[in-house]
Amino acid sequence: MLKVIADQKAIHRYAGQFNKKFISFVDEGIKVKLGHQGASFPAKILWSKKLGIWKFSKTVKDVRYWNAFGIGKPGASSVLSIASEINFPWSQIDRKTGGAFAEDHWGNVFVIHRGKIGGGKKGVGKSLFAQNYRGVWSLMEDGDCVSEVAVIGNLKSDRFAPQAAQFVKKIEIMKLSAAESAQTEMDFSEISFREDLIGSETPLPEDEIMSACDHDLVVSELASELQRHKLKIGNDAESELFVVDTSENGISHIFEIVTDAKEKSIMAAVGRLLLQTSAAALNPSPVLVLPEDKMSHYEAELRKTNIPVIGFHWQEEKAVFSGLAKIRLA
């Protein structure tokens, strides 16, 4: 179980590391007005084209470390609404503050969120987050109680900034969806890939959290790669990524992505693929995605399942896939 970090000096140190993780991704600073009409103030936000987000940070001494985020590049002098905040208490434990730092038994430090989100819209709040957020969930020793929290990312990872950016995008999608009426039917012409449908809804074991922080990035990158091949893709509550055969109006391929490469995780993914493909129309093809350097270890066992396997490796903060061309996707 993770344990919240309450020491003031440690929080100060990690808050500094949090901001430094975004520096290499920043393209420019843009002067804007932050807030909303009638209650805004001048600010200089940091825009990252690669991450697709902007960021504004401010230290409020003895109170908190404030970090505001938004989606898309703003124009100069724009009045910006904040998509989400990842704030940290100045010291100790403050459950009214959305963010915090937490540590596992091996000394890895994670940025977590308690689900306290706002936006001034009806239905947007902690209950919306708890009921809808999919990503990395964990139990955390939270002072004198245990809290269920969302893990934004691994602070010491080179991929922390993309992990945080994905969290920001998921929150924005969630808040926008809350204002829309739920659809009761959807045909294949309306299917799309939604980042807010990637990830788990239940707490993970402590030893799986670090690799899980990369999972959603791999799924999103694979989705982008398939789209570059002009394929129609989608996902839903059951399948994190699939390819649609538009001529047959059905799913042609279903993907399962495993980032920790533990035998139990691989077997669970294989089981899900077999169940999903057997239950679906058109008998879609299952595809398993594993870390490239672990594929040979399980090659003999996986060959027996007749499930095609593709690998991935990291090139800086980006997942690169091998073997995708060998799978007949279209």
Which tens digits make up the pLDDT trace of 238-285?
A: 899 999 998 888 899 999 999 998 899 999 999 999 998 887 667 899
Pair of tokens at residue 132: 């809808």
Query: Quick one: 278 and 330 in the same domain?
Result: yes
Query: Quick one: 26 and 171 in the same domain?
Result: yes
**Within a domain: residue 136?**
yes
Residue 273 identity? L
Query: Quick one: 57 and 171 in the same domain?
Result: yes
pLDDT for 182 beyond 50: no
**Within a domain: residue 87?**
yes
Query: Quick one: 15 and 97 in the same domain?
Result: yes
Specify the pairing of strand 28-36 against strand 39-48.
antiparallel
Query: Quick one: 169 and 235 in the same domain?
Result: no
Query: Quick one: 18 and 167 in the same domain?
Result: yes
Pair of tokens at residue 152: 């934004």
Query: Quick one: 273 and 218 in the same domain?
Result: yes
| CB burial of residue 107 (10 Å; 0-12, 13-18, 19+) | exposed
pLDDT for 119 beyond 70: no
Give me the chain's average pLDDT, please.
Answer: 90
**The dihedral formed by the CA atoms of 175, 179, 180 and 182, expressed in degrees to the nearest 10:** 80
Query: Quick one: 136 and 217 in the same domain?
Result: no
Query: Quick one: 53 and 119 in the same domain?
Result: yes
**Within a domain: residue 298?**
yes
Average pLDDT over residues 184-212: 84
Query: Quick one: 63 and 15 in the same domain?
Result: yes
pLDDT for 213 beyond 70: yes
**The dihedral formed by the CA atoms of 153, 155, 157 and 160, expressed in degrees to the nearest 10:** 50
Q: How confident is the model at residue 181 (pLDDT cuts 50, 70, 90)?
A: very low
**Within a domain: residue 197?**
no
pLDDT tens digit string along 55-71? 999 999 999 999 999 99
| 197-225: burial string, b at 16+ Cβ within 10 Å, e else | bbbbeebbeeebbbbbbbbbbbbbbbbeb
Q: How many domains is the chain partitioned into structurally?
A: 2
Domain containing 59 equals: 1-178
Query: Quick one: 11 and 138 in the same domain?
Result: yes
**Within a domain: residue 212?**
yes
pLDDT at 4: 98
Residue 322 identity? S
Can you give the CATH number for the domain in which 326 is found? 3.40.1350
